[in-house]
Structure 1
Amino acid sequence: MADDLNSVNISPDAVRRYHHGDLRAALVAAAEAVIAERGVDGFSLREAARRAGVSPAAPGHHFGDARGLLTAVAARAFRDFGDALAAADQGGDRAERLRGQGLAYVRFALAHPARFDLMWRRALLDKTDPELKAAADRAFVILDRAARGEEVLRHGPEDVALAPSIAAWSMVHGFARLALEGAFGPEPGAAERAAEALLPRVLDHLSV
């Protein structure tokens, strides 16, 4: 994964893209394409650079190394994930809101399995990165509000008041992992059908 960032010349087209501010976005998109095809463990910084049309040295200008680029990919994935959760929150009581967000959670995982996998591969990411932290925190806050109400305060990860949200998160995340691992059958669409039929009823067992 950690390909050497050797100093080699960048093509004129790549230099123009770099100076126009497009290289970062191009590299993130290329990295997403690599992990979608090869999985997170098959990621190569050199391959991402090749697909973006730049030299292996180019990612160092923006990301420093493979961890930096994967962190940017994970931050974007968390932002999209948070958007999906927010779009699914159509109001109603807490049970209705949790059902909607729970389905959005699992649908995102099934639609973007490689990105979803990367989001939780903390050993591969820079956990201190402010963009990653902000995007991940936002996604949790959206779920937290559905579980506990609009006006809630958080006092740290050990706050016992978070218990309803942690219960919902654990249940939905576990369901997503089971679905991704084929627990509901190998047939095309089996995981999606299981999510639609079972997840709302599973979430109804939560006392929130």
Structure 2
Amino acid sequence: MASMPAEKPETRPYHHGDLRSALLAAAERTLRDKGTAASLSLRELARDIGVSHAAPGRHFKDKQALLNALALVGYDRMAEVLEAADDPGLPLQDRLTTLARAYLGFAIDNAELLELMYARKHEPDAAEQIGVAIDRTVGALERAIAAAQQRGEIVDGDPEHLTLVVGTALHGLASFAITGKFTTEAAMGAVPELVHHLLYGLKPR
């Protein structure tokens, strides 16, 4: 009697309809759930979405490449939020307030992703791509400031430096909301006063 062929060990499928997007989505979920990029593993992500442990290598050579790609997803998403909110036709104070609230909303809703975005921008292997992405986000604020300078609405100086000052204040407010020192409603309500003080200072007039 002919022997029966040995059963092949069960293996996970190698292919996936859109493996790259699935890996990024799974990575973002893990990041939100566990709160740190250190918790991410290509092997575990492959297991979670039901593909072989080697499959992610077709899109990401290592974990660092995955983190860079996830940071870029975040910057693209932030850029879309800011571009949708921006209105160059508004008076400067209203325009900055609108942009600030858009940034604040993104930061609160994507706290873990935002931390990764800021961390990865200093990585040499991600510098060029992320530099372009940053220009769509921080660049939107810098261009608003530069345009206001040209109209004589704010002081002269390096627009990049002034953007850093404004961005630091906004990120500080976002950090208070993320860590629970402010409620989201309180943080959003504080934006107009913050922008007012940035534009006019604290001295009595």
Q: Which residue of 1 aligns with 2:194?
A: 202
CA distance in 2, matches of 1:60, 1:125: 20
Match of 2:177 in 1: 179
- The structural deviation recorded for 1:127 is 4.7
Number of residue pairs aligned between Structure 1 and Structure 2: 183
Say yes or no: does 1:34 pair with 2:30.
yes
CA contact (8 A) 1:31 1:48 kept: yes
Secondary structure (helix, strand or coil) at the match of 2:53 reads coil
Identity, % of aligned positions? 33
| Structure 2, gaps ≥5 residues long | 1-9, 151-156, 201-205
Q: What code does the residue aligned with 1:147 have? A: I
Identify if the C-alpha distance between structure 1 residues 173 and 61 changes in structure 2 by more than 3 Å, giving closer, same or farther: same
Could you list the per-position Cα deviations for residues 178-205 of structure 1 after superposition, in whole angstroms to 9, with x for gaps in the alignment? 2111222xxxxx2x11122112211111
Once the two structures are superposed, the pairs formed by residues 1-208 of structure 1 within 5 Å of their partners are 11-12=12-13, 14-15=14-15, 17=16, 22-40=18-36, 41-91=38-88, 92-122=90-120, 125=123, 127-128=125-126, 130-149=128-147, 160-184=158-182, 190=183, 192-207=184-199
Rate the CA distance shift 1:160–1:82 in 2: closer, same or farther, 3 A: same
Residues 96 and 151 (structure 1), Cα distance of their counterparts in 2 relative to 1, 3 Å cut:
same
Q: Give the aligned residue type for 1:144.
A: E
State the secondary structure of the residue aligned to 2:199: coil
Bigger Cα Rg: 2
Q: What are the superposed Cα offsets for residues 44-65 of structure 1, whole Å, 9 maximum, x if unpaired?
A: 2222222222222222221111
Question: 2:123 and 2:40 mapped to 1: Cα distance?
Answer: 13
Contact 1:81 1:105 in 2 (8 A): yes
Quote the Cα distance in structure 1 between the aligned partners of 2:141 and 2:113.
19
Structure 1 pair 97–120 and aligned structure 2 pair: CA distance change class (3 A): same
TM-score, normalised with respect to structure 1: 0.78
| Consecutive unaligned residues in structure 1, runs of 5 or more | 1-8, 153-158, 185-189
Query: TM-score, normalised on structure 2?
Result: 0.79
CA contact (8 A) 1:70 1:124 kept: no
In structure 2, give the amino acid aligned to 1:178. Answer: F
Cα distance in 2, alignment partners of residues 60 and 124 from structure 1: 24
**Secondary structure at the counterpart of residue 206 of structure 1:** helix
Contact persistence 1:144–1:165 (CA under 8 A): yes
